[in-house]
Amino acid sequence: MKKLNVILVYDKDENKILMCKRTKEPYKDKYNMVGGKVEENENELEAAYRELYEETGISRQDIKLIHVMNFQYKISDMELEVFCR
């Protein structure tokens, strides 16, 4: 099963959420949340921190992520893991 993640990073007052502006196609110049693919032999939390750092420069030392929930899409053979700060 293919695994993906999405990371929801709120400001301290929980009024705003971090979004990234895409620099490549598809959807170039559109906004999306942080996240991506879980690589083979990588645990879910490591993958979330890796994606967060790659896309924003925010490291494990800057933020503590909490696993919130998973969604399974059986038709697509995919699982989406949701993390939050």
**In the CATH scheme, what is the code of domain 2-84?**
3.90.79.10
CA distances from 55 to 19, 20, 72, 76 (A): 10, 8, 24, 25
Give the per-residue pLDDT at 42. Answer: 95
Give the per-residue pLDDT at 65. Answer: 98
pLDDT-based confidence at residue 67 (cuts at 50, 70, 90):
very high
Q: What whole-number distance in Å separates Cα of residue 63 and Cα of residue 19?
A: 16
Q: What is the mean pLDDT of residues 80-84?
A: 97
Residue range 11-64, pLDDT digits in tens: 999 999 999 999 999 999 999 999 999 999 999 999 999 999 999 999 999 999
Enumerate the domain spans of the chain: 2-84
